[in-house]
Amino acid sequence: MRAAGGRCESLFGAGTLEKAVEAVRRGSIHDAGKAGFYFELPFTGRPRMDLLMEHKCSALHAPVRFADGCGYGFQSFFDACATDATLSDYACGFSFDLSEASEVPGIYLLPNLERPNADYVPRMLSWLGGEGRTARVMAAFASAPSAWRPYYAGYMKGRPGAPARLGFFIQPDTQERYARKPELLIGDLDEYRPFPVTEEEREKLLFLACRARIWDLQFDLYPDGSLSDALGVSLGLGFGAFDPRNASGSLAGSMAETVMLELERWGLADARWRQMFEACYAVKCLVIENGRRRLVADVVRPNTVKVRFRQGKPFVAKGYLFARSYTLEEHS
């Protein structure tokens, strides 16, 4: 994250690098291969960052060994991820809010998006201390439009009203259907939520559905089973085709640039969105791992952009970068 010209501070906030290094050090797992990292940053307001550190469950070995010896107290969760064969193609990890004083991160567990499901959600809620929400969460998943595939649940006991977060994966054929006929998205939202889409929300969602690929919808569910007026929309902007060695060059004239300029016009983004693409890179280098010389690649690439609505109005846009180191080959 250390970048020339003060980009680290302007993107992530002063002191964030040191906090991230310490958080990762304490959450690191021995003998689990290379972790993946998601950097989440808002495009307006105070610069800050959330950091997600991710492992494939299949790469874990019980008893899981943490660098600090305790894994923030989540030993049993990670041991379960390591030993349960039904979770082998899931990803698990820590979620660090580096702008908050709390030293205890969140934990998460996500299925492979090619096979989204909510079968694991009751166990996940029990691990999070939200087992009392299980029946209402599963009912809210079951009542959604058939084209939305449940894949994520979280319990945010520190938020006002202590809501549960529900995540739906929008399959590629439905993404395309929404892009061709965005009114179908509005109809599905009106079917699911007990309150209608506002005119401003409708206008903004029609644009996003047409110009991007909406692949993820997130809702907040209160303890009484009612949905809040918050809506999260994750956008597929073709980042998979971007060259991380020149992401800014890939951006020029792209669908992603069109969408980001519109978010800037809405007041949801400032110069940070361009800096996010400037922060991407890919390099190769020789390293020594476990006494062997290996050729590795370090990559930071754009992952997604999320727009959040509240009371029918967009109020924040966030960018996500993904970073991982890959072993390419061994050298004798």
Express each pLDDT in 309-332 by its tens digit: 999 999 999 999 999 998 886 544
Give the pLDDT confidence of 245-263 residue by residue, as tens digits: 999 999 999 999 999 999 9
pLDDT at 100: 79
Give the pLDDT confidence of 121-134 residue by residue, as tens digits: 999 999 999 999 99
For residues 317 and 43, the answer to whether their CB atoms sit within 8 Å is yes
Q: pLDDT class for 6, splitting at 50, 70, 90?
A: low
Q: What is the dihedral of CA 125, 127, 130, 134, to 10 degrees?
A: 30
The answer, yes or no, to whether residue 161 has pLDDT greater than 90, is: no
The answer, yes or no, to whether residue 42 has pLDDT greater than 80, is: yes
The answer, yes or no, to whether residue 74 has pLDDT greater than 90, is: yes
> What distance in Å separates the CA atoms of residue 48 and residue 71, rounded to the nearest whole number?
24
DSSP state of 19: H
Q: Provide the β-strand partners of residue 302.
A: 321
> What distance in Å separates the CA atoms of residue 40 and residue 187, rounded to the nearest whole number?
30
pLDDT at 142: 97
- Locate all alpha helices (DSSP H) within 128-281, ordered by sequence: 134-142, 172-180, 183-192, 199-211, 247-251, 255-265, 272-278
pLDDT at 291: 83
pLDDT at 158: 79
* Percentage of residues of the chain with pLDDT beyond 90: 81
pLDDT at 332: 42
SS3 of residue 270 by DSSP: coil
Q: pLDDT class for 224, splitting at 50, 70, 90?
A: very high
pLDDT at 94: 96
Give the pLDDT confidence of 9-40 residue by residue, as tens digits: 888 888 888 999 999 998 999 989 899 999 99
pLDDT at 65: 95
Output b/e per residue, 276-295; b: 16+ Cβ within 10 A. bbbbbeeeeeeeeeeeeeee
Structure tokens at 121: 């959600």
Q: Provide the β-strand partners of residue 55.
A: 92
> What distance in Å separates the CA atoms of residue 174 and residue 92, rounded to the nearest whole number?
27
The answer, yes or no, to whether residue 1 has pLDDT greater than 50, is: no
The answer, yes or no, to whether residue 212 has pLDDT greater than 90, is: yes
Q: What is the mean pLDDT of residues 231-256?
A: 95
Structure tokens at 215: 């692949």
pLDDT at 180: 97
The answer, yes or no, to whether residue 105 has pLDDT greater than 50, is: yes
Mean pLDDT for the chain overall: 92
pTM of the model: 0.93
pLDDT at 138: 97
pLDDT at 87: 96
Backbone angles phi, psi at 34, to 5 degrees: -85, 130
The answer, yes or no, to whether residue 61 has pLDDT greater than 70, is: yes
Q: Which residues neighbour 31 within 8 Å (Cβ) at sequence distance 6 or greater?
A: 61, 65
H/E segment holding residue 36? strand 36-42
DSSP 77-106: HHHHHHH-GGGTT-EEEEEEETTSS--PPE
SS3 of residue 222 by DSSP: coil
> What distance in Å separates the CA atoms of residue 231 and residue 224, rounded to the nearest whole number?
18
